[in-house]
């Protein structure tokens, strides 16, 4: 979402600079291609670093931003601390992109940082949440109320479009017949995505509909990940599952699906993957985590978290609709994205938020930590 915001931001009004806490992220090249300055703090995943923090302070002193936008828990705190050590102090915003069901589900360091964030949340001028549920959860544990604003993730409906050619080409790539029924879960390999629960739900679906195939795409969802292979073998769906790994043609993958699923059991705030599938006119079955139920609305099926039977029933219900019925439901899903969750609307909301804060100031720079 950060990359999408940077691509669309009005560069005649804002001059973005990006500070990455760690080096080697997959989006570095794409940010660099935009001509946006990109700095690295040189920190290591899961470890705090005094030298890395000093680099962030050095960048802020060099760039002299009017506004610093933290991005997710670690970035928020890094932006917070560094902003206090520069003069003049820039305006500070945080961004929270996850839901918070239970501290037990978080890594110990992350849980500690969230608790610290609750105490420090009096300092940022605004806190941007991507979902209403996330805002409610965080304010319940002490995040400062009255300073939160919800800006849902935005989807580009000009990129994610229904296209028959994509349906055909992916089936050809995978050596599948043209009438193969594709059910996809798009997301990185992580416990919150609940791949195991999804596979359990798919066992009955594939048993009743042998033409169904299961598509996984996302970081580490590939055949050389032994943990993934163990899950697939345990499900007995070896011949029905296709592991595509991390892809850069998600508009093609999504448009090829008949049904998209989010089986997440926690942590989701506002699923980009489901929004992209909806923009491709694909009906969805989602667990009610974060704002995913609000995102889908009446254009798909919403079930409780960890309800594998509900996921099964949801997929079977959409299969029973037939191709024409799914297309009609998918068309409504696309209308919902274009009307309420478009990328242009999200970017406009960010720009309006920043402009209001920076009104009367010259420069209007933006540094995202």
* Residue range 262-272, pLDDT digits in tens: 999 999 999 99
* 174 and 269 in a common domain: yes
Q: What is the mean pLDDT of the chain?
A: 93
pLDDT digit string, tens, across residues 67-99: 999 999 999 999 999 999 999 999 999 999 999
The pLDDT of residue 29 is 87
Can you give the three-state secondary structure of 111-130, one letter per residue?
HHHHHHHHHHCCCCCEEEEC
* 286 and 308 in a common domain: yes
* 170 and 305 in a common domain: yes
Residue 44, domain member (yes or no): yes
* 356 and 255 in a common domain: no
Residue 363 clears pLDDT 50, i.e. is over it: no
* 212 and 123 in a common domain: no
* 176 and 73 in a common domain: no
Q: Which two tokens stand for residue 163?
A: 């296209």
Residue 31 clears pLDDT 50, i.e. is over it: yes
Please give the Cα distance from 1 to 269 (Å, whole number): 13
Please give the Cα distance from 79 to 366 (Å, whole number): 12
CATH code of the domain containing 67 = 3.40.50.2000
The pLDDT of residue 46 is 67
Structural domain count of the chain: 2
**Model confidence band, residue 359 (pLDDT cutoffs 50, 70, 90):** confident
Q: What angle do CA 340, 345, 348 make, to 5 degrees?
A: 155
* 178 and 127 in a common domain: no
Residues 6+ apart with CB under 8 A from 36: 6, 16, 17, 18
SS3 state at 315 = helix
* 194 and 114 in a common domain: no
Residue 159, domain member (yes or no): no
The domain containing residue 84 runs over which residues? 2-154+343-368
Of the chain, the percentage scoring pLDDT greater than 90 comes to 87
Residue 24 clears pLDDT 80, i.e. is over it: no
Phi/psi at 3 (nearest 5 deg)? -60, -40
* 58 and 30 in a common domain: yes
Helices (H), the chain: 2-8, 28-33, 50-63, 72-83, 108-120, 132-140, 164-173, 195-208, 226-235, 250-256, 272-279, 292-296, 308-320, 322-340, 343-358
Q: Which two tokens stand for residue 45?
A: 């995943």
Of the chain, the percentage scoring pLDDT greater than 70 comes to 97
Residue 249, domain member (yes or no): yes
* 197 and 137 in a common domain: no
- Residue 235 and residue 203 in contact, taking contact as beta carbons nearer than 8 Å: yes
Residue 34, domain member (yes or no): yes
- Of the listed ranges 10-24, 98-112, 188-202, 224-238, the least confidently predicted one is 98-112
* 134 and 31 in a common domain: yes
């Amino acid at each position: 979402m950060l990359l999408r915001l940077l691509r669309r931001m009005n560069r005649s009004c804002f001059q973005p600079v990006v500070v990455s806490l760690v080096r080697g992220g997959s989006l570095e090249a794409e940010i660099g291609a935009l001509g946006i300055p990109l700095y690295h703090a040189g920190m290591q995943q899961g470890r705090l670093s005094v030298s890395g923090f000093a680099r962030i302070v050095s960048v802020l002193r060099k760039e002299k931003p009017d506004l610093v936008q933290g991005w997710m828990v670690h970035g928020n705190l890094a932006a917070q601390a560094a902003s206090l050590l520069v003069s003049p102090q820039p305006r500070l915003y945080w961004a929270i992109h996850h839901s918070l069901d239970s501290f037990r589900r978080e890594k110990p360091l992350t849980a500690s940082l969230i608790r610290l964030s609750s105490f420090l949340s009096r300092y940022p001028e605004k806190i941007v949440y991507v979902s209403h549920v996330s805002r409610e959860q965080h304010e319940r544990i002490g995040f400062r109320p009255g300073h939160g604003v919800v800006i849902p993730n935005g989807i580009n409906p000009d990129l994610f479009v229904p296209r028959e050619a994509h349906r055909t080409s992916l089936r050809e790539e995978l050596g599948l017949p043209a009438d193969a029924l594709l059910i996809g879960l798009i997301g990185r390999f992580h416990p919150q995505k609940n791949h195991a629960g999804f596979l359990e739900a798919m066992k009955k679906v594939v048993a009743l509909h042998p033409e169904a195939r299961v598509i996984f795409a996302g970081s580490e969802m590939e055949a050389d990940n032994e943990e993934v292979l163990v899950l697939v073998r345990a499900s007995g769906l070896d011949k029905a599952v296709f592991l595509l790994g991390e892809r850069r043609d998600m508009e093609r993958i999504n448009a090829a699906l008949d049904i998209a699923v989010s089986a997440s059991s926690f942590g989701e705030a506002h699923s980009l993957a489901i929004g992209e599938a909806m923009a491709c006119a694909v009906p969805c079955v989602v667990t009610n985590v974060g704002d995913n139920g609000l995102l889908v609305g009446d254009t798909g099926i919403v079930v409780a978290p960890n309800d594998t039977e509900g996921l099964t029933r949801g997929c079977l219900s959409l299969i029973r609709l037939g191709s024409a019925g799914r297309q009609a439901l998918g068309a409504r899903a696309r209308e919902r994205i274009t009307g309420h969750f478009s990328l242009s609307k999200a970017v406009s909301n960010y720009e309006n938020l920043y402009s209001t804060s920076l009104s009367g100031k010259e420069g209007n720079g933006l540094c995202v930590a």
